[in-house]
Amino acid sequence: MEAAPEATPVVEDAPASTTPASVHPHLLFWVPALLRLSLVFVAAGVAWWLFGLVAGLSLALLITVALLVVQLSYLHQLGEWLNHPHSSRLPDGWGSWTDVFARLYRLRRDDERHQAELAEWLARFRQAMQLLPEGVAIMDDVLFLEWCNPTAERHLGLTLEKDKGRRVTNLIRHPDFIDYIILGRYEQPLTLAIRNRKLVVQVIPFENRRQILVTHDATETERIEAMRRDFIANASHELRTPLTVIVGFLEIAMADPGMDEKTRVAHLKLMTEQGQRMQRLIEDMLTLSRLESSEYPLKRERVDVHALVEQVAEDARALSGGRHEIEFSVEGPDVMGSLDELRSAFGNLATNAVRYTPEGGRILLSWTRGPNDLRFAVADTGIGIDEQHIARLTERFYRVDKSRSRETQGTGLGLAIVKHVLLRHGGKLAIRSEAGKGSVFTASLPNTSLPG
């Protein structure tokens, strides 16, 4: 008779293989089957010897049918499990089925581990893609959107939940982009002006049925490049004007050695003024360069604000020459910062007030403690500024009235210097003005006051 069913081993802790290397695995499979077949013949022979031929054949047939039913039952269970391979456990088995189910169980465990690792790597990949400053969108071979990161959504105006599975050329209806896609000339990137941004777009084919759309926001780069071009052009213009005057007077002096003393003195005076103007411009340009450079970190020290504001007021009075009423008040504490940089920023604000306030006007310099900051304010009764110009006042060489600026001998860099000094100190500049009524420039600094 058949041996009793064997218990299913605990496959989690089962060794990968205990088979000697010299034994072929197919041989191990057939040995139990041959043993069971031998037992059938032995049992049938015993029955034949005891009860006759019919009894022996009947017993052999009965045992064979029973074994066949058992095998078919295990095949059915295996088929059911294959239809639902993620069920909690595999069927139990005995004999050769024990090894089959144990191997399948190990395969399932390996597959589950690989799936978990793949899911983890996919999650990391998507997290990395979401943090990229570049936009990334994945499309299939017919340009249907499969996935995109948040940056691509912002750049292109997409929404992954809503637009997934839609054709990208139906979502981005820019003519240049559609031509770029249709022509398929992906060797060079495409520059697009879209959604108030300047984007650099490139399609990168990968695999056989996928394409990656990469977007780079070049808006800030373009703005900085435009500022650089404007700066060079304006600096060249500002330097060329005094140089033209100086060279012109020198040529006149060389052409007319007998020039009268009065004319010569007047020419020398004008050349000196233009040379000083050029010197101030170069000094301001060097100051700006130093403020923007990482090679010159901010060196903080205790700043005696009362002495600083008093000095700025004295310099303003010297520039005014008695043409204005200039007062100052200090009600806030000392701060930690760069004395030279704060003197430059505060001095530029006071100097602008003197230059753009008509004779007889009043200028008040004040240092006060705000709700969350410390404030140096310069209030004047000058010509004021139209609202349309206020946002651009801190740009290099920006002038509200170019003819007025030439009269005041300004370099056009003062407020740019103020802005960068305050940025280095963690502060900001606020401007409030009304044409014909005066202005208030307020430099706010973090409340890093000192006791005493």
Neighbours of 163 (CB within 10 A): 19
Structure letter (DSSP) for residue 307: H
Helix (H) or strand (E) holding 328: strand 325-330
Closest by CA to 416, choosing from 365, 339, 344, is 344
Q: What angle do CA 272, 344, 273 make, to 5 degrees?
A: 10
Domain with CATH 1.10.287.130 in the chain: 234-292
Q: What DSSP designation does 350 have?
A: H
Beta-bridged to residue 213, according to DSSP, are 137, 203
CATH of 301-446, one of 3.30.70.890, 3.30.70.1520, 3.30.470.20, 3.30.565.10: 3.30.565.10
What pLDDT score was predicted for residue 229?
A: 82
Residues of the chain with CATH 3.30.450.20: 132-217
Q: How far is CA 425 from its chain centroid?
A: 24
**Sign of torsion, CA 267 273 278 283?**
positive
Instruction: Give the pLDDT of residue 7.
Output: 39
β-pairing verdict for 362-369 and 190-194: unpaired
Q: Considering all CA atoms of the chain, what is the largest pairwise distance in Å, rounded to the nearest integer? A: 157
Asked if residues 135 and 154 have their Cβ atoms less than 8 Å apart, the reply is: yes
What is the token pair recorded at 117? Answer: 């690792």
Cα–Cα distance for residue pair 103/200, rounded to 1 Å = 53
436 in the Ramachandran plot: left (φ > 0), alpha (ψ -120 to 50) or beta?
left
pLDDT score at 380: 94
- What count of other Cβ atoms lies within 10 Å of the Cβ of residue 322? 9
* CATH 3.30.565.10 segments of the chain: 301-446
What is the CATH architecture of 132-217?
2-Layer Sandwich (3.30)
DSSP H/E element including 289: helix 261-292
Residues of the chain with pLDDT under 50: 1-29, 451-452
- Spell out the CATH class of 234-292: mainly alpha
Q: What is the pTM of this model?
A: 0.55
Q: Which helix (H) or strand (E) holds 275?
A: helix 261-292
CB-based contacts of 83, cutoff 8 Å, min separation 6: none
pLDDT in tens, 42-59: 777 777 787 777 777 887
Q: What is the DSSP string of 138-155?
A: EEETT-BEEEE-HHHHHH
Beta bridge partners of 446: 373
Report the pLDDT value the prediction gives residue 203, as an integer from 0 to 100: 93
**Residue 444: what pLDDT?**
94
Question: Are the beta carbons of 300 and 337 closer than 8 angstroms?
Answer: yes
